[in-house]
Structure 1
Amino acid sequence: MNDIQLWTTIFVVGTFAVYIYVAYVSRVSDTAGFYVAGGGIPAPANGAAIAADWMSAASFISMAGIIALAGNGYGGTAYLMGWTGGYVLLAMLLAPYLRKFGKYTVPDFVGDRYNETARMVAVVCAIVVSLTYVTGQMAGVGVVFSRFLEVDTRIGVLIGMAIVFFYAVLGGMKGITWTQVCQYSVLIVAYLIPAFAVSQKLTGIPVPQIGFGQILGELEALQAELGFSSYLDALVGSSQMNLFLLTATLMFGTAGLPHVIVRFYTAKSVRAARVSALWALFFIALLYTTAPTVAAFAKFNILGSSQAGTLADQNWFEKWASVGLITGADGGAITDVNGNGAIDFMGSAANEVLINNDILVLASPEIGGLPAPIVGLVAAGGLAAALSTASGLLLVISSSVANDVYAKRIRPQATEKQQLQVARIAMGVAVLFAGYLGINPPGFAAQVVALAFGFGAATFFPILVLGIFWKKCTAAGAASGMLVGLIVTAAYFIWTLPAESAWFFLGKDPILDIAPVGFGFVGMMLNFIVTIAVSQFTKKPSAIMQELVEEIRYPGRTDLVAKHAEE
């Protein structure tokens, strides 16, 4: 066992032991604890759990890789703007009102606000969004295990499945929440320490957000010398329309993600939900302001190594190539052999070397020449990011099946013990399905996650906004809008995604050149149009529901809201 394997094993085993212990101590025996942690999580802890739940493997593992390698730095910032802007939108526009409404899940809100038909449609949408999203997390787990512990990807995914299943099934939302507090601590330390160290090494400034500016000029010069397009120019390799659509899809998709929304139900009160949102924004900003610096430092080191000799001379290159995440003819220097400046590390035949987006953050300590303990710490951080989000997504599936289908539709007289049994069985099935998708993912982690955000934007965002701010939005309108958004968006993904990604994708040309990762915005607008149009001609909500919708938007806990929350 080499030093990197040893340190990775120490950090991974140590952190997994902590997660399991916390889940055991936090185990629950009632549905309130399983679904929303009893609504008693302090705001700072809830903020850390929200941040860990929200910052998935895509944020930790893939985002810096996209910024550095997918076209240029400017184009990759769509992920930064979309994901952070969407969180602010969720925290300010939706979360406090949903918390005041007082239900367990997004389908629960839909069922109470509209009707049982809309609830069932929302359950289907929640499961589709969550399964799509969790695929990217399990794929990220496989990447970490295959490279750092030299374990087969399938075995790595199975290990991740087992850990998530144990602490999610045992502790429910309460166990997941406190485990995610630990996971956030691990992932942020693992992300910041290498960034500080590489910044100090390259620029003499230990704060990466400041040191970042010192190398941009040199990075631009390297790009030009090797024939690449500018790292800082706008819209290189991407149309203005697709950049807008991707940013908007990620933003509105974030505000429609059921596993993030349910986090605000774990707060003690509406005020605590708002404070939790502020804490979460601070915790998220620590990583998101650092990601562009990690991207720039890593690309600077990669291009510098290529300029000095060949990448094949680098120890990190050989190890990542051995697991199939770097491909190329001979591992030679990176050059623009076509001379057209249009380089795409992920797929252009013009490149001698193709570097997978998912490896950049995980490889950055090795690329920067940092010692083995930091490499092992980053591996543990990547696993923490993937597992924290995976557990939240699996709980959404579990609670949707147990609370919204079993308890509300199939067996309303079910006891809490019976509901918990169904919830745990549903979670077990979801873990197995997520593991299969993680072993056979239809793309790299951030790409798969972007599709999940597309589904979130096209299904949930419109009916949540209209459900809160338009008291005459009807059940028929909401159900129709969700179905149209889901079906049209799914059909476009199937039509356009590459056929080699999965057997059911067709790989056809995009309509009007709209990239599939940005199509969720189109699905969302269709959802809005259909929901509003159908609501004009269908039965309006009851007078009591319209009054309740009015009241949840105002401060204070009125008698009507209090009575509804207790039902």
Structure 2
Amino acid sequence: MQDSTWYVIAMIIYLLAMAAIGFWSYKQTDEYDDYVLGGRGLNPFVAALSAGASDMSGWLLMGLPGALFLTGLSEIWIAVGLIIGAWANWTWVAPRLRSYSEVAGNSITVPSFFENRLRDKSRILRVLAAAIIIFFFTFYVSSGMVAGGRYFESTFNGDYLVGMLIIAAVTVFYTFVGGFLAVSYTDVVQGLMMFTALLIVPIMAFISLDNPMDIFSFASNHPYGPNGEIDNPNYFSVFSGVSAAVVIGNLAWGLGYFGQPHIIVRFMALRKPADAKAGRFYAIAWMSLSIIGAVFVVIIGTVFFTQKNYTITDTQNYETIFLDMAQILFHPLFAGLVLTAVLAAIMSTMSSQMLVVSSSLIEDLYTIFVKRKPSEAVLINLSRTAVVAIAVLAGVLAINPSDSILGLVGFAWAGFGAAFGPIILLSLYWKRLSSSGAIAGMVVGAVITIAWGVSPLSDVLYEIVPGFLAALVAAVVVSLATKQPSNEVVQEFEQAAKLSKLAAKDADVDFEKAAQKVQD
């Protein structure tokens, strides 16, 4: 039996499992809030792995290894920044946002939370936030489709466009059918697959080497790659060959966590704020071990592909290292199961992002312009239609990719981090924030990120740094220059803070009753 046949069998097993989860989730989804936020019943383990899997995606298994292989360990600052940022996000944002989003009109999307938190009667804040989500997530979903096409090329030696369409179609199917619960529970399976594969592949590659200890010196002493095409004597240095601006820019990836809608929506879906503590433990443990695995895939890969004369499919960005290594090392069926970890990573992120975009299109744009709120069934069907629409648009952009996976992800990550990150933090911890300040911060953050990202300055410093700082300053200055928030807004802010502290002090407190009590 040909290797490709075994890969197809493994992929079919995986896709059928994802479809089954989607169907199960469909049976659990009766109301619109269930489709968008899972009825706020997510346990911390599911929330943590769902957030991690939807966050890391093809970047962890393809984008990061490619960057590390090509540039060296100086790229590790991205991973360090992400771990710090994820820890801070689970510590400072998760419990507070879970409390505040319920107190502030039971908000189920990030734009609706901003509007309810700041009592923006103009609706500008909500529409602007939704527009930013739709714009940047189009690029983000497109990066997933690019990864899917390259996965198909590397695994089956097939056509990029065919692979992209197949993977996109299956992802759209289970997101379309099952909504938030389908996305969350498939993410758990996908996160476990990614984690397992990132541990198994480097261990087996290490064992296969003639002299395993070469991995700690080879890349800096010899040209490496299948044809010895890369010469990097500073490979193992995290400082040499990189400027302070590059280190700062890579660390600043961690700032992006505060503003990623597909991640922070998991915080809003937790059963109670106290679950954030357990969620943080699961999330950071999963992320740290997965990143360590990805790093060793590359360090071992410098020797593996050079000394054994194995080839790498992608010789431009080297983003297929993990895929190629798995195919070489394992029996085709087991290799196929390992390779589905990449497919899992791609699909987990795409599904989360498409669901957030559909929520913004329907909950944050459509419902505020119709005179009468549609029925639950109509809202769910409209959200499903929006999932398909955003997938089609992202697919058009992915047909002829002009950037690496890491480049596409980096642009969207910076856009959300700069536009939403400062506003999320200020909304949760600064009662003086005004709707005008939030609008100013969002606009400045998005504009600076886009302008900086398309200019030569992006080669000097990652655009999230100027974008985040400019948005923060703009939001604070405009808020101080405009009218103070009403007593109603201040009182609600204090209620949310009190509820968050109460939930943190007593993990067993009945959160629903406590939330009602602080509002009475």
* TM score, norm. by length of structure 1: 0.82
Q: CA deviation at 1:152?
A: 1.2
Instruction: Give the Cα–Cα distance (whole angstroms) in 2 for the partners of residues 361 and 161 of structure 1.
Output: 21
Correspondence list, 1:294-333, <5 A: 294-305=297-308, 311=309, 314=310, 316-317=311-312, 320=313, 325-326=314-315
Q: 5+ unaligned residues in a row in structure 1: which ranges? A: 205-210, 306-310, 327-354, 497-508
Q: CA deviation at 1:370?
A: 4.0
**SS in structure 2 at match of 1:35:** helix
| Pair 87,478 (structure 1): closer, same or farther in 2 beyond 3 Å | same
Correspondence list, 1:9-88, <5 A: 9-27=8-26, 28-69=29-70, 71-73=71-73, 75-88=74-87
Q: CA deviation at 1:227?
A: 5.0
2:333 to 368, 373, 390: 373
2:164 to 133, 157, 166: 157
1:110 is aligned to 2:63: no
1:357 to 311, 315, 318: 318
| Corresponding residue number in structure 2 for 1:262 | 265
Q: CA deviation at 1:561?
A: 7.8
Mean Cα displacement is larger for which, 187-196 or 229-238? 229-238
| Corresponding residue number in structure 1 for 2:6 | 7
| Pair 566,141 (structure 1): closer, same or farther in 2 beyond 3 Å | farther
| Corresponding residue number in structure 2 for 1:91 | 90
| Corresponding residue number in structure 2 for 1:556 | 502
| Pair 411,52 (structure 1): closer, same or farther in 2 beyond 3 Å | farther
The superposition leaves residues 199-226 of structure 1 with CA deviations (integer Å, 9 ceiling, x where unpaired) of 223389xxxxxx8x77303443335998
Q: Which amino acid aligns with 2:478?
A: V
Instruction: Give the Cα–Cα distance (whole angstroms) in 1 for the partners of residues 363 and 231 of structure 2.
Output: 57
Q: Contact conserved, 1:252 with 1:456, CA < 8 A, in 2?
A: no
The superposition leaves residues 538-557 of structure 1 with CA deviations (integer Å, 9 ceiling, x where unpaired) of 12222122122233234126
2:243 to 218, 239, 243: 239
Q: Contact conserved, 2:9 with 2:333, CA < 8 A, in 1?
A: no
1:522 is aligned to 2:466: yes
1:229 is aligned to 2:219: no
The superposition leaves residues 440-470 of structure 1 with CA deviations (integer Å, 9 ceiling, x where unpaired) of 3331111111111110221001101111111
**SS in structure 1 at match of 2:217:** helix
Instruction: Give the Cα–Cα distance (whole angstroms) in 1 for the partners of residues 287 and 279 of structure 2.
Output: 12
Q: CA deviation at 1:165?
A: 1.2
| Pair 185,145 (structure 1): closer, same or farther in 2 beyond 3 Å | same
| Corresponding residue number in structure 2 for 1:184 | 191
Q: CA deviation at 1:86?
A: 1.6
Q: Contact conserved, 2:190 with 2:348, CA < 8 A, in 1?
A: yes
| Corresponding residue number in structure 1 for 2:220 | 220
Q: Which amino acid aligns with 1:50?
A: A
| Pair 203,128 (structure 1): closer, same or farther in 2 beyond 3 Å | farther
* TM score, norm. by length of structure 2: 0.89
1:138 to 134, 145, 158: 145
Segments ≥4 residues shifted beyond 4 Å: 223-227, 557-561, 563-567
Q: Which amino acid aligns with 1:550?
A: E
1:284 is aligned to 2:287: yes
Q: CA deviation at 1:118?
A: 1.2
| Corresponding residue number in structure 2 for 1:480 | 440
Q: Contact conserved, 1:395 with 1:427, CA < 8 A, in 2?
A: yes
Instruction: Give the Cα–Cα distance (whole angstroms) in 2 for the partners of residues 514 and 66 of structure 1.
Output: 17
Q: 5+ unaligned residues in a row in structure 2: which ranges? A: 504-510
1:463 is aligned to 2:423: yes
Correspondence list, 1:386-535, <5 A: 386-494=346-454, 496=455, 509-510=456-457, 514-515=460-461, 518-535=462-479
The superposition leaves residues 352-398 of structure 1 with CA deviations (integer Å, 9 ceiling, x where unpaired) of xxx4231111112346x444334323321111000001000001101
Correspondence list, 1:164-179, <5 A: 164-179=171-186
Q: Which amino acid aligns with 1:399?
A: S
Q: Contact conserved, 1:142 with 1:439, CA < 8 A, in 2?
A: no
Instruction: Give the Cα–Cα distance (whole angstroms) in 2 for the partners of residues 373 and 566 of structure 1.
Output: 57
Q: CA deviation at 1:50?
A: 2.0
Q: CA deviation at 1:191?
A: 2.4
Q: Which amino acid aligns with 2:444?
A: V
Q: Which amino acid aligns with 2:416?
A: G
Q: Contact conserved, 2:214 with 2:303, CA < 8 A, in 1?
A: no
| Corresponding residue number in structure 1 for 2:507 | none
Q: CA deviation at 1:535?
A: 0.7
Mean Cα displacement is larger for which, 13-22 or 144-153? 144-153
| Pair 296,565 (structure 1): closer, same or farther in 2 beyond 3 Å | farther
Q: CA deviation at 1:8?
A: 1.4
Identity of aligned residues (%): 24
| Corresponding residue number in structure 2 for 1:336 | none
Instruction: Give the Cα–Cα distance (whole angstroms) in 2 for the partners of residues 559 and 439 of structure 1.
Output: 47
Q: CA deviation at 1:303?
A: 3.2
1:128 to 112, 122, 135: 135
| Pair 441,85 (structure 1): closer, same or farther in 2 beyond 3 Å | farther
Question: Larger % of helix: which?
Answer: 2
| Corresponding residue number in structure 2 for 1:499 | none
The superposition leaves residues 319-340 of structure 1 with CA deviations (integer Å, 9 ceiling, x where unpaired) of x2xxxx32xxxxxxxxxxxxxx
The superposition leaves residues 273-301 of structure 1 with CA deviations (integer Å, 9 ceiling, x where unpaired) of 33223222222222112111111000122
| Pair 120,565 (structure 1): closer, same or farther in 2 beyond 3 Å | farther
Q: Which amino acid aligns with 1:179?
A: T
**SS in structure 2 at match of 1:471:** coil
Q: Which amino acid aligns with 2:515?
A: A
Instruction: Give the Cα–Cα distance (whole angstroms) in 1 for the partners of residues 203 and 401 of structure 2.
Output: 33
**SS in structure 1 at match of 2:274:** helix
Instruction: Give the Cα–Cα distance (whole angstroms) in 2 for the partners of residues 171 and 377 of structure 1.
Output: 24
Q: Contact conserved, 1:52 with 1:388, CA < 8 A, in 2?
A: yes
Mean Cα displacement is larger for which, 381-390 or 269-278? 269-278
Instruction: Give the Cα–Cα distance (whole angstroms) in 1 for the partners of residues 358 and 55 of structure 2.
Output: 18
The superposition leaves residues 381-421 of structure 1 with CA deviations (integer Å, 9 ceiling, x where unpaired) of 11100000100000110111111112234345222122112
Instruction: Give the Cα–Cα distance (whole angstroms) in 1 for the partners of residues 16 and 10 of structure 2.
Output: 10
The superposition leaves residues 68-114 of structure 1 with CA deviations (integer Å, 9 ceiling, x where unpaired) of 21x222x1102211222221121112111111122211112111112
Mean Cα displacement is larger for which, 279-288 or 256-265? 279-288
Q: Contact conserved, 1:551 with 1:561, CA < 8 A, in 2?
A: no
Q: Which amino acid aligns with 1:538?
A: T
| Pair 410,519 (structure 1): closer, same or farther in 2 beyond 3 Å | same
Q: CA deviation at 1:168?
A: 0.4
Q: CA deviation at 1:58?
A: 0.6
Mean Cα displacement is larger for which, 188-197 or 463-472? 188-197
